[in-house]
Each structure stands twice: as C-alpha cells, then as structure tokens.
Amino acid sequence: MPLSQTLITPDLALAFDLPSPVPAAAAAAIPRPDPDPGGAGDEGAAARTLKRPRLVWTPQLHKRFVDAVAHLGIKNAVPKTIMQLMGVDGLTRENVASHLQKYRLYLKRMQQSSSSSASAALAGGHISAADHQLFASGPVPHHFLSPRGAAGPDPPFVPLVPVNPLHHHHHHHQIGQQYYYQRQMGHFGSAASGGVGAGGGFDYRFLSPPPIGMQHMGMGMGFPPAASSFGEQLESEERGGGRRELTLFPTGDD
DNA sequence: CATCGAATAT
DNA sequence: CATATTCGAT
C-alpha cells in the first residue's frame, strides 16, 4: 500500500481535481536513504548514517511545525519533542532544531518591530520577504510567549500516525558547490509557489498528515475524532492582483 | 550520556 | 537565503 495514496483519499482527490496520486512524497520532502536493497538487516544504522538530502520545509511541513510548537508551549517546544509531535517519518531532531532556530529568530524580530503583525513588520522592513514567505504565510500563534502547558507536567501526547512524505528525488548530484537557486520571487504579491517555469519551479505537492491537535490536553478539551478529519487542506494558490491570506480551515488546533 | 542551542559551515 | 553540522553548555 503505497503511502502516496493513503495520504489522500480517492474521493478527496476527486473532489479537488487532483492529478491523482501525486508522486508520493514529493509533498513535503523528507528524504530517506535507500532502504537497503541488498538485504542486510541494519536498516536503522544505515538510515542514521547515510546523509540525507536537504530537507525542504514546505508550507505544509512548516504548518505542522508551528502547530506542534503551539501545542507544546514555548517551554516544551524543544527539537526532540517537536519532532515527535510532528510525527513526520524521516524527520530528524537536527532538522527541527535548525528550523526552530530560524523560527525563533523570526519571532524575535517579529516582537521587536511594532507589535506582532507580520504585515506591519514586513512593511517596516524588519522582516525580509523571504521570512514572510514561509513564516508569515501561515498563521503565527500570537501568544507564543505565553506558555501553554508550561506549568503542566509532560504532555502525554498521543502517538500520531507517522506520516511519510518522502522525497525520493535523486536530484542533481553535486553541482558546483556554489549557489543553487535562490529565486527570491522578488516580492510578495506573487504567491509562494511562484515561478513554475520561471526558474523557480518548486515542487509543492500536497499531503494530508494526521492533524496535530488531536491530543487531550490538560483541560478537558477533547473533541470527537471526526471533528478534525482534515488538518490542512489544499491551498488554492490564487493570485491575480490580490493577496489571499485566507486560511479557510481550522487546523484542529483552535 | 542525551540533547539543547548559538555559532558556524555548506 | 535555507538548511546542515559543529561544539560548548546544561
């Protein structure tokens, strides 16, 4: 059962007119070294030893990241925990640590400037367009500074079904170790996916990982399982003059 | 000993 | 710039 198909139900795919089972994992891009074709048994060792391709933090992945951090509270939001909560197969602690570092910087800069308005910060020139693209593209839990479960004990989060957004792209080998592409889509106004063909050509794909907010928090705030079947949905990349920062679906978080 | 995180490297 | 790796601190 190819997970590429488990992630998106057939009817859902139809409903959105998806090109069928997207090549898997093209979605988020958690690379994984080859599973050992030979037949040895040290799969784990190899998986940990071989160097994985660069992780690409797609908006979807970042979303999960943010959700995880939000649910953990600043205090518990450390790489290992975040990683576990995200439940993304192939995602390493390092991956998260690196992203977290950057995210913290973003939040810091965000605080400095006016209030917590991404727009304002961006306008003020304190936030780079690039930051805006990934970080502010999605909802930024405004109250990240107020520890949520900070005082509480370790959150007994339920095991999330590991999602497996592999990125089996044997991409370029080792081009001149210089600069790849850093097509910074000039400015906001043009959506994120941007240059499909103009040198950009990101391979955004979609996946529907299990929603993060399905854990029972300290408060008796549980909701029926069916309530959050869809954590994140397809994102219509509408352009045409106006920006659309409309998130028309709950994350299961709020 | 594990892992965090700022600094640094690619 | 985005992500990875290093390395001292906890």
Please write the tens of the pLDDT for every residue from A68-85: 998 888 888 999 999 999
Contact in structure between A161 and A87 (CB atoms under 8 Å) = yes
Q: Report the pLDDT averaged over residues A166-184.
A: 50
Q: Report the pLDDT averaged over residues A107-135.
A: 70
pLDDT the model gives residue A8: 38
pLDDT the model gives residue A118: 66
Using the structure block, give the residue that is written with the tokens 């975040």: A82
Q: Report the pLDDT averaged over residues A101-128.
A: 74
As beta bridge partners, residue A190 has A188
For strand B, is any atom closer than 7 Å to the CB of A81? yes
Alpha-carbon distance of A135 to A140, in angstroms, equals 7
Per CA to C1' distance, which residue is closest to B5?
A: A101
- Residue closest to A131 by CA, chosen among A76, A197, A57, A79: A57
Give A26's pLDDT tier (boundaries 50, 70, 90).
very low
Alpha-carbon distance of A48 to A36, in angstroms, equals 12
pLDDT the model gives residue A124: 65
Contact in structure between A85 and A149 (CB atoms under 8 Å) = no
Phi, psi dihedrals of residue A188, rounded to the nearest 5°: -65, 150
Nucleotide nearest to A101 (CA to C1'): B5
Nucleotide nearest to A174 (CA to C1'): B10
Contact in structure between A23 and A165 (CB atoms under 8 Å) = no
Q: Is the pLDDT of residue A246 over 80?
A: no
Average pLDDT over chain A, rounded to whole? 59
Strand B footprint nucleotides (protein C-beta < 7 Å): 3-7, 10
Q: Is the pLDDT of residue A138 over 80?
A: no
Give A132's pLDDT tier (boundaries 50, 70, 90).
confident
pLDDT the model gives residue A135: 78
For strand C, is any atom closer than 7 Å to the CB of A128? yes
| Alpha helices, H only, A113-211 | 118-124, 129-134
Q: Dihedral of the CA atoms A189, A109, A76, A44 (nearest 10)?
A: 60
Q: Report the pLDDT averaged over residues A144-172.
A: 49
For strand C, is any atom closer than 7 Å to the CB of A55? yes
Digit-coded pLDDT (tens) for A32-70: 655 544 444 555 566 666 778 899 998 888 988 998 998
pTM listed for this prediction: 0.60
Alpha-carbon distance of A3 to A24, in angstroms, equals 7
Strand C footprint nucleotides (protein C-beta < 7 Å): 1-6
Q: Report the pLDDT averaged over residues A215-219.
A: 44
For strand B, is any atom closer than 7 Å to the CB of A177? yes
**Å from A175 (CA) to B1 (C1')?**
39
Give A14's pLDDT tier (boundaries 50, 70, 90).
very low
pLDDT the model gives residue A81: 95
